[in-house]
Amino acid sequence: MRRYEIDWIRNISILMLFVYHTCAIFCQFGDFYIISEEKNLFADIIILLLFTWYMPMLFFLAGASTFFSFERRNMKEYIVERVKKLLVPLLFGLIFLVPPQTYLARVWRGEGNLNYFSHLGFFFSNVTDFTGFDGAFTPAHLWFILYLFIVSILGGIILSLVFKQEKGIKIVHLFKKAFVNKFSFLFLLFLGICSDLFPSIMGKSLIGCLLIFLLGYIVYEDDTLLEKLISHRFKYLITLVFFAICGVIYTLLLRPEEGNTTVWIIDSILKNGVLISAICTVIGFGSVHLNKNNKLLKFLNKRTFPIYIIHQPILLVLAILIVPTVKSTALSIGLIIIFSAILTFIVYEILYRVKIFNFVLGMK
């Protein structure tokens, strides 16, 4: 039976990207395609509270959805569905939606007389740090679709071939036993810290995303694990508040600018502490309060994935117009969030009526 909280949480998370990516413009941490000289404390706090667990949770939900997908698809059908749903939109976005964002980044940084077609040649022929803030090649916000395609294929193979074997079943059984004992949080924290040891691209660990994907599958495969998240949801909420407060205070007031081993360890503990407790909290409360279907859910299920694909170029165009002309950062944030959301939904409704866009944007 379909668990509707998976859809609700995914849809809400994607819609929250309007807030998250707007705040990235006014945040003092990191860089973005458009970055304001004037910073905003609200933006800083939003980024600090969300960046560690927000997108990883979507990999957890993808793993959970894979459990239900395997109930009605074989491996070949699953791979074909992943290609249509993820790879085709990814390729379309890399060609038509990502280059304009890197073009805007170069214009924002002072290259005012830049020709867009010459920029395309630069974009497709230069690879630097994969962020694209310098105009070079990047998957931009579509990194999630790229990672999800790789993770879902690898995860699907592991789940269908490895975990179905006797040794794989024993490994899963050991994982489940570790989840239900009193040291489960420490066990997950240890796994998270270990995953941070692997190389990452743009700060995103493919191994970490794969691990979270597999955990999502395992939790939704076993009602015992899901019931534990539900019964302990208030404990996870308290743990989340603790790690979130510690993380914000440490980052804003205590963290040294120069990194070292101690800083890396503290960063990893706080990041994974927030990540684990946040996912457990959201799934626990979501399973209780969001496991219901209605017209709004059906409306969002049809729209949120293509909206995810097209939202960021629209948001950046608005940002490059609003940031220089509106003095108040709070007003700028509000205007960008509201108008980017409205315009993105309008663009979706237009594209939905053209068959080719149904295919290239992975629309149902």
Neighbours of 134 (CB within 10 A): 15
Structural domain spans, the chain: 4-360
More confident position, 167 or 207? 207
Neighbours of 250 (CB within 10 A): 15
Query: Which of 5-9, 158-162, 197-201 tops mean pLDDT?
Result: 5-9
Predicted local distance difference test score (pLDDT) of residue 364: 63
User: Is residue 2's pLDDT more than 80?
Assistant: no
User: Is residue 165's pLDDT more than 80?
Assistant: no
CA distance linking residue 303 with residue 8, whole number of Å: 13
* Residues 6+ away with beta carbon under 8 Å from 238: none
Predicted local distance difference test score (pLDDT) of residue 222: 87
Calculate the CA dihedral of residues 243, 247, 248, 251 and round it to 10 degrees: 170
Predicted local distance difference test score (pLDDT) of residue 71: 86
Calculate the CA dihedral of residues 162, 165, 166, 169 and round it to 10 degrees: 60
User: Is residue 166's pLDDT more than 80?
Assistant: no
CB 101 within 8 A of CB 140: yes
Predicted local distance difference test score (pLDDT) of residue 258: 85
Predicted local distance difference test score (pLDDT) of residue 175: 79
User: Is residue 356's pLDDT more than 90?
Assistant: yes
Q: Report the percentage of the chain scoring pLDDT > 70.
A: 99
User: Is residue 1's pLDDT more than 70?
Assistant: no
Q: How confident is the model at residue 180 (pLDDT cuts 50, 70, 90)?
A: confident
Predicted local distance difference test score (pLDDT) of residue 346: 98
Predicted local distance difference test score (pLDDT) of residue 30: 86
Read off the pLDDT of each residue in 6-15 and give the average, rounded to a whole number: 97
CA distance linking residue 170 with residue 207, whole number of Å: 21
CA distance linking residue 345 with residue 186, whole number of Å: 42
Which has the closest alpha carbon to 270: 196, 208, 214, 211? 196
Return mean pLDDT, the chain. 93
Q: Report the percentage of the chain scoring pLDDT > 90.
A: 82
Alpha-carbon distances of 342 from 307, 313, 333, 357, rounded to whole Å: 11, 14, 14, 19
**Range scoring the smallest mean pLDDT among 37-51, 159-173, 241-255, 350-364:** 159-173
CB 75 within 8 A of CB 156: yes
* Residues 6+ away with beta carbon under 8 Å from 283: 5, 9, 60, 219, 226, 229
Dihedral sign (CA 268, 19, 104, 313): positive
Task: Specify the pTM.
Answer: 0.95
User: Is residue 74's pLDDT more than 70?
Assistant: yes
CA distance linking residue 239 with residue 146, whole number of Å: 32
Which has the closest alpha carbon to 49: 15, 10, 23, 26? 23
Predicted local distance difference test score (pLDDT) of residue 28: 92
